[in-house]
Amino acid sequence: MIGRLKGKILQKLPPQLLIDVMGVGYEVDAPMSTFYQLPDKGEEVVLHTHLVVREDAQLLYGFYSLAERALFRQLIKINGVGPRLALTILSGMNASEFVLCVQDNDVAALVRLPGIGKKTAERLVIELRDKLQGDLPEATAGASMPVPERNVSSPTSDAVSALIALGYKPQEASKMVRAVDTADVTTEEIIRLSLQAAAKK
């Protein structure tokens, strides 16, 4: 099991990272909650990782904090929640916000996330309520989910592509990005603003 990576960020194409660890490039999928905390490309980062081994692929998922990874591991144990949906959840809200949703039985907040219907949201609340009573680990300093092709790369187009990879429909992703101010901001910031706006609807 690969549990931790320390290396230089070669590429940031949400939700995928390419990390150079002593000359070996690791493709890592990460939630937006991790992307928001990453240093710039070319700088060193430490990620807490989770490896998923399937018959056809080995998937490596990376998280900036132990709390994110702990929640990811709890989520993928739930029936009907795979790694991709778990990343979507952690992209729409951070670990602390998710724990509050579960503790407050806030099903409405969960169903605003793509791919989560009312039944899945209710199952998450019921099955995780007791397991999330204690604190998640404190934050410290898996082939992967497909990343759409980027023919014309710009922060706006990359943000739309990332939202699609996280489960939003193309038309919905474009609409979300158009609804926010994208002038002179990074891809990660556009995604953050788009997800925040969607969560308030």
Q: How far apart are CA 33 and CA 64, in angstroms?
A: 8
pLDDT, one tens digit per residue, over 7-46 is 999 999 888 999 999 999 999 999 998 998 999 999 999 9
CATH architecture of residue range(s) 155-200: Orthogonal Bundle (1.10)
Spans of the chain, pLDDT less than 50: 138-152
Residue 114: per-residue pLDDT: 85
Q: Which two tokens stand for residue 26?
A: 């690791």
Instruction: Decide if domain 77-128 falls under CATH 3.20.20.140.
Output: no
Secondary structure of 181-192 in HEC code, one letter for each residue = CCCCCCHHHHHH
Q: How far apart are CA 107 and CA 98, in angstroms?
A: 11
Q: How far apart are CA 24 and CA 7, in angstroms?
A: 9
Residues 112, 198: contact at Cβ < 8 Å? yes
| Residue 23: partners with Cβ closer than 8 Å, 6 or more residues away | none
Phi and psi at residue 66, to the nearest 5°: -65, -30
At which residue do the structure tokens 């070669």 appear?
10
Residue 145: per-residue pLDDT: 36
Residue 142: per-residue pLDDT: 35
What are the residue ranges of CATH 1.10.150.20 in the chain?
A: 77-128
pLDDT, one tens digit per residue, over 97-116 is 898 889 889 999 999 888 88
What are the residue ranges of CATH 1.10.8.10 in the chain?
A: 155-200
